A and B are shown apart, each in its own frame.
Chain A
Amino acid sequence: MNKTTVIVGLGSCGLAAGAGKTYDEFHRIRQADKIDFEIKKTSCIGMCFREPLVEIIDETGKYLYGNVDVKRVDEIIEKHIKNFSPIPDYIIESEKYKSEDASFFDGQVKITLRNCGHIDPESIEEYESQGGYEAMRKISNTNMSPEKVIQSVLDSGIRGRGGGGFPAGMKWKFARNFTSDKKFVICNADEGDPGAFMDRSILEGDPHSVIEGMMICAYAIGASEGYIYCRAEYPLAIKRLNIALDQARKKGYLGENIFGIPNFNLEIQIKEGAGAFVCGEETALIASIEGERGMPRRRPPFPAESGLWKHPTNINNVETLANIPWIIYNGPEEFAKYGTEKSKGTKVFALTGKIKHGGLVEVPMGITIKDIIYKLGGGITGDKKFKAVQLGGPSGGCIPEYLSHTIVDYDSVNATGAIMGSGGMVVMDETTCVVDVAKFFLDFTQKESCGKCTFCRIGTKRMLEILTRITEGEGRQGDIEMLEEIAHTIKDSSLCGLGQTAPNPVLTTIKYFRDEYEAHIRDHKCPALSCKKLLTYEVIAENCTGCMACAKGCPVDAIEGEKKQVHNILQDVCIQCGVCFTKCKFKAIRLS
């Protein structure tokens, strides 16, 4: 009889939700009560909204438990492990039972995330038990030539998952064609889009898949040195990468004549980013590894010709690299089975915002945005009205509700004015103001602009000023046109992707929600009731208990009224700071 196994999800999300304490509690009770079961750890399975997650495998099958905080551990051990009676109330999914939330997994196809949430990311043996490093063995055993490897990647149709969508095989081919005594392969793990965390999950959950992907790339282009450029804000990912690299070195998977392939030598090291969004751009990333300010350089020459320290360099993003071993092992035609004509395979999305089931999902290309939101994501929080979805972070754009039948592939998404980007999908409901969202992204890109190109440096600042005055009720006639003009100039005259895409959130929101901009400017109204300065605050007399909480909090003494009497807000004194609204415990302040 196999021992019962308890697997606790210890990704960053899980840890933030308290999974570390859950893990310790299982250990503690096992020790104290001398119960015989095994405890393992794994990483994120993507179901962030039910963290901490615990999977129990016993002889009757697999059971996935959700929201297992410390208090529930004892009960689960007592009932499930000791007495073999699972607790249906807490189960998300098992072979016999499926909760409503399990619909989150329906329609997902896991290629990139094949091992995430299933194996112990700190064990190379577990990776290998799932077919890990078999792609490298296949290359070695079948004497697959570098050209043939590149052809497979081309045939799979995989396009860069970091945002650009450039065919990965083409990139490899370019890098292969330049001769040099030294070439580099770089993994771009500088995931900076606010609202995207798929790369972090892959690095934390399956670091070996990325390392194997880098090996295959190095073999194909003829590189002997590799760098993983990872955000310093991802300490757990860096820790697990270091463990994985050590394990690979010990097994002889890194070093010289790897997998018995003569003259195939590779060493990989980690470079920690120091916090600059622009370093996600390849040439800026290279400058940063070289120890300079992360500022983009003019292309051509492209990195494939003259990259790191002027040597041919290939840069791929984490998600792209994680797919490579699967493609080589299973064959490109298996990968190309999924997706649309021009966008093959699957894509990982980070589903966040006003959505019931937030988390990481991997779906085949070609699924509609609506299906992702309603079928996988369970719909909008509080069943409010779905307004728009922001795709591609600060470089992307808003797709309104009426275009939610748009299918997920590079070209269809581009046609809306948004971009696929790295896969952040932030859902907005009727209470989200699109002008405010556009301002938020501009504020981000404005701060992150490296300052090299004049139009990006100054243009984003001017756009932010205009957006700020619009959201504060100071908008002027002609502001929308001015925004559009500056936006197009920035796009046309910036060197790198940051500047070329920075105005996208503004342009798409103007395109689809022009009336909201106009309402702010002409009527000084925010239809979503979100822009504080454009609201009026009133007391709802029947709810007010006269507790004085709002009056005490008001910084300008705009609230009059005695204790236990209905208060009144003096509109000409009020500065719309919103303190009264947050202080009131009786929902007696109305926004309009």
Chain B
Amino acid sequence: MRIKRIIPQTAIDSIPMPDVPDLALMDPLIEKYKTRKGNLIPLLQGTQEIYGYIPHEAFLKLNRETGLKLNEMYGVATFYAQFRLSPAGKHIIKMCHGTACHVQGVTAITDELSDLLNVKDGETTEDRIFTLETVACLGCCSLAPVMMIGEETYGKLTPKEASKIVKEIRRNEKLMENAKS
């Protein structure tokens, strides 16, 4: 059932939460949707667009300024797959588990990446570079098996290729980090 997506409190506690986000960023969004009918989902989508997830404080602000009930917002946020209640990694790996990808063996690829990154479906790596997610269908069935990292789609994958791509991204991230420090 869908609502199982609620993250257990212990898992939330183990994630290093960033400091209280700059809530003023939400003002134009609230202004735009405040009086519209059916605004709950666009408001949550907009908030996630800003912060990459929906921070606890953002729920409270929405409640204060739009009058939307907290329980209703939380109910909707945990129902739809799109919403996150904790920050995701810098790169979100979406593994397509559509029918075509399944028949072409995507499970082995997801397992490989899961081992490589030491995370399960929906989890974020310790270095916060990757979040691994399985999704229903990316609609590129003839390129199956497919994964999407950011805006980039990678098709006709093998476990080896997929881990090569991920390692490459991680290496670049580390290089950038080193250059900064």
Question: Which A positions have Cβ atoms within 8 angstroms of B?
Answer: 12-13, 15-17, 48-49, 51, 191-197, 200, 232-234, 271-272, 274-278, 288-294, 309, 350, 352-354, 358-359, 390, 393, 424, 426, 428, 432, 437, 440-441, 444, 446-451, 457, 461, 578, 582
Contact (A275, B81) CB under 8 Å given A234-B139, A352-B144: yes
Report the Cα distance A451→B89, complex, angstroms: 30
Whether A352 lies near B135 (C-beta < 8 A) is no
Report the Cα distance A374→B119, complex, angstroms: 42
**Contacts beyond the supplied A193-B137, A274-B44: 5 A-B pairs with Cβ under 8 Å:** A16-B154, A352-B141, A358-B141, A432-B103, A450-B79
Whether B98 lies near A194 (C-beta < 8 A) is yes
Whether A290 lies near B38 (C-beta < 8 A) is yes
Whether B1 lies near A353 (C-beta < 8 A) is no
Cβ–Cβ < 8 Å partners of A13 in chain B: 139-140, 142-143
Contact (A291, B1) CB under 8 Å given A16-B146, A426-B99: no
B1-24 vs A, CB cutoff 8 Å, 1 = contact: the mask equals 111100000000000000000000
Cβ–Cβ < 8 Å partners of B98 in chain A: 194-195
Cβ–Cβ < 8 Å partners of B102 in chain A: 194, 437, 440
- Ranked nearest first, the 3 interchain pairs of A and B with the lowest CB-CB distance are A48-B142, A194-B98, A275-B81
Whether A353 lies near B99 (C-beta < 8 A) is yes
Chain A, Cβ-Cβ closest to B37:
A309
- Does B26 sit within 8 A of A, measured CB to CB? no
Chain B, Cβ-Cβ closest to A191:
B139
Whether A194 lies near B137 (C-beta < 8 A) is yes
A397 → chain B, closest Cβ, in Å? 13
Contact of B139 among A12, A271, A578 (CB under 8 A): A12
A315 → chain B, closest Cβ, in Å? 16
Whether A451 lies near B3 (C-beta < 8 A) is yes
Cβ–Cβ < 8 Å partners of B142 in chain A: 13, 48-49, 51, 352, 358-359
- Chain B 156-176 interface residues, beta-carbon cutoff 8 Å to A: 159
Contact of B99 among A200, A290, A440 (CB under 8 A): A440
Contact (A194, B136) CB under 8 Å given A16-B155, A290-B38, A352-B100: yes
Cβ–Cβ < 8 Å partners of B154 in chain A: 16
Cβ–Cβ < 8 Å partners of A352 in chain B: 99-100, 141-142, 144
Cβ–Cβ < 8 Å partners of A437 in chain B: 99, 102-103
Whether A16 lies near B140 (C-beta < 8 A) is yes
Report the Cα distance A441→B136, complex, angstroms: 11
Report the Cα distance A359→B45, complex, angstroms: 32
- Chain B 29-46 interface residues, beta-carbon cutoff 8 Å to A: 37-42, 44-45
Chain B, Cβ-Cβ closest to A204:
B139
B54-82 vs A, CB cutoff 8 Å, 1 = contact: the mask equals 00000000000000000010011001111
Chain A, Cβ-Cβ closest to B36:
A291
Cβ–Cβ < 8 Å partners of B108 in chain A: 578, 582
**Which of B2, B135, B143 is most buried by chain A, counting CB atoms within 10 A of its CB?**
B2
Contact (A233, B143) CB under 8 Å given A276-B80, A578-B108: no
Whether B1 lies near A449 (C-beta < 8 A) is yes
A562 → chain B, closest Cβ, in Å? 26
B37 → chain A, closest Cβ, in Å? 7
- Does B118 sit within 8 A of A, measured CB to CB? no
A275 → chain B, closest Cβ, in Å? 3
A581 → chain B, closest Cβ, in Å? 10
Contact of B141 among A195, A390, A449, A461 (CB under 8 A): A195
Whether B143 lies near A450 (C-beta < 8 A) is no
How many A-B residue contacts, CB cutoff 8 Å?
Answer: 144
Cβ–Cβ < 8 Å partners of B144 in chain A: 352
Whether B137 lies near A192 (C-beta < 8 A) is yes
Report the Cα distance A444→B42, complex, angstroms: 26
Whether A232 lies near B38 (C-beta < 8 A) is no
Cβ–Cβ < 8 Å partners of B139 in chain A: 12-13, 191, 197, 200, 233-234
Cβ–Cβ < 8 Å partners of A309 in chain B: 37
Cβ–Cβ < 8 Å partners of A444 in chain B: 136
Report the Cα distance A461→B2, complex, angstroms: 12
Cβ–Cβ < 8 Å partners of B44 in chain A: 274
Contact of A274 among B3, B38, B41, B155 (CB under 8 A): B41
Cβ–Cβ < 8 Å partners of B85 in chain A: none
**Which of A12, A194, A289 is most buried by chain B, counting CB atoms within 10 A of its CB?**
A194
Report the Cα distance A358→B100, complex, angstroms: 10
Whether B146 lies near A446 (C-beta < 8 A) is no
Whether B143 lies near A17 (C-beta < 8 A) is yes
B26 → chain A, closest Cβ, in Å? 17
Whether A354 lies near B103 (C-beta < 8 A) is yes
Contact (A353, B103) CB under 8 Å given A200-B139, A276-B80, A289-B38: yes
B7 → chain A, closest Cβ, in Å? 16
Report the Cα distance A369→B4, complex, angstroms: 39
B2 → chain A, closest Cβ, in Å? 6
Report the Cα distance A448→B143, complex, angstroms: 25
Cβ–Cβ < 8 Å partners of B99 in chain A: 194-195, 352-353, 390, 393, 424, 426, 437, 440-441
Whether A276 lies near B2 (C-beta < 8 A) is yes
**Chain A to chain B contacts (Cβ below 8 Å), 22 pairs:** A13-B143, A16-B153, A16-B155, A48-B142, A193-B137, A197-B139, A197-B140, A233-B138, A272-B41, A274-B82, A276-B81, A288-B41, A290-B38, A291-B40, A352-B141, A352-B144, A353-B103, A354-B104, A437-B103, A447-B4, A449-B1, A451-B1
Cβ–Cβ < 8 Å partners of A51 in chain B: 142-143
Cβ–Cβ < 8 Å partners of B141 in chain A: 48, 195, 197, 350, 352, 358
Whether B45 lies near A426 (C-beta < 8 A) is no
Chain A, Cβ-Cβ closest to B3:
A451
Report the Cα distance A451→B3, complex, angstroms: 8
Cβ–Cβ < 8 Å partners of A200 in chain B: 139
Cβ–Cβ < 8 Å partners of A359 in chain B: 142
**Which of B72, B100, B102, B104 is most buried by chain A, counting CB atoms within 10 A of its CB?**
B100
Chain A, Cβ-Cβ closest to B100:
A352
Report the Cα distance A15→B151, complex, angstroms: 10
Report the Cα distance A529→B150, complex, angstroms: 35
- Does B83 sit within 8 A of A, measured CB to CB? yes
Contact (A451, B2) CB under 8 Å given A194-B137, A293-B75, A353-B103: yes
Chain A, Cβ-Cβ closest to B137:
A194
Cβ–Cβ < 8 Å partners of B140 in chain A: 12-13, 16, 48, 197
Cβ–Cβ < 8 Å partners of A193 in chain B: 137
Chain B, Cβ-Cβ closest to A424:
B99
Cβ–Cβ < 8 Å partners of A293 in chain B: 75-76, 79-80
Whether B76 lies near A15 (C-beta < 8 A) is no
